[in-house]
Amino acid sequence: MSTTTTPRRITKEIETFCAEVNPSEYPSFVKVLPSPHSSLNECFHNVREQVRIKGGKPVYGWTIWEWPKVLLEAEFHCVWKSPYGELSDISPKTNNENEILFVRDDRKTFDFSNLNRVNSHRLALNSDPMIHDFIRTAESIDSITPSSGMPDPPEFIVRKLYKLKLQICKHYTNKNGPCICGSGKIFKKCCFNKIP
């Protein structure tokens, strides 16, 4: 269920958030140009294969997502730097984004041996306790890794996160806009009816 999108512009709030994520780099927009061999949600493997085929190198950093009026999220990501120095995001997106907001971070890399993920950063955009509960729950899911002895988060935590997401959408999503699940229906005639 997608609720976040690429910010339309770099606001002061986004600048401040990005400076907390990596103070030495400024965010920039990078074009999404999916490679034919790329798979959804596999940016690290996609870029490694692209480097093998076409040269260039991986550039690690953070994709900045915005859930308007709700939160900002920095998700660890990898883009491809071509042999000519151009950056592009070669990994396909579920919501047909044609560009991402990216903050480079040369302090980070991806551990292909253990496949350990790097946790996301999140910032609430208002003081609604429901949003803060959502962020805490998402962070508890992030902390569950194979090395913690729990390869998958418990079902009750996943259900709680989904319920919170629906409740937040009820207050902050346009009911006549596209549904957050991507069904193509309007929100009030789709997932809005699942809200407890």
pLDDT at 68 over 50: yes
pLDDT at 65 over 60: yes
| pLDDT (0 to 100) of residue 185 | 84
- Per DSSP, the three-state class of 101 is strand
74 and 119, same domain (yes or no) = yes
**Mean pLDDT score across all residues of the chain:** 89
150 and 75, same domain (yes or no) = no
Cα dihedral across residues 135, 137, 143, 145: positive or negative: negative
60 and 118, same domain (yes or no) = yes
How many angstroms separate the CA atoms of 80 and 115, rounded? 19
* Banded model confidence at residue 20, pLDDT cuts 50, 70, 90: very high
56 and 121, same domain (yes or no) = yes
Distances, alpha carbon 94 to alpha carbons 1, 5, 91, 186, in Å: 10, 11, 10, 18
Domain boundary among 125, 149, 167: 125
Distances, alpha carbon 40 to alpha carbons 2, 85, 96, 101, in Å: 14, 24, 11, 18
- Per DSSP, the three-state class of 125 is coil
| pLDDT (0 to 100) of residue 75 | 95
| pLDDT (0 to 100) of residue 160 | 92
Domain boundary among 125, 145, 163: 125
42 and 138, same domain (yes or no) = no
35 and 99, same domain (yes or no) = yes
Q: Please give the average per-residue pLDDT across 112-141, as a whole number.
A: 91
pLDDT cut 90: percent of the chain above it: 62
Confidence (pTM): 0.89
| pLDDT (0 to 100) of residue 117 | 77
Q: Please give the average per-residue pLDDT across 20-24, as a whole number.
A: 96
Domain boundary among 82, 101, 125: 125
How many angstroms separate the CA atoms of 81 and 173, rounded? 36
Q: Please give the average per-residue pLDDT across 84-106, as a whole number.
A: 93
Task: Tell me which residue range forms the domain holding 18.
Answer: 1-125
27 and 93, same domain (yes or no) = yes
* Banded model confidence at residue 148, pLDDT cuts 50, 70, 90: very low
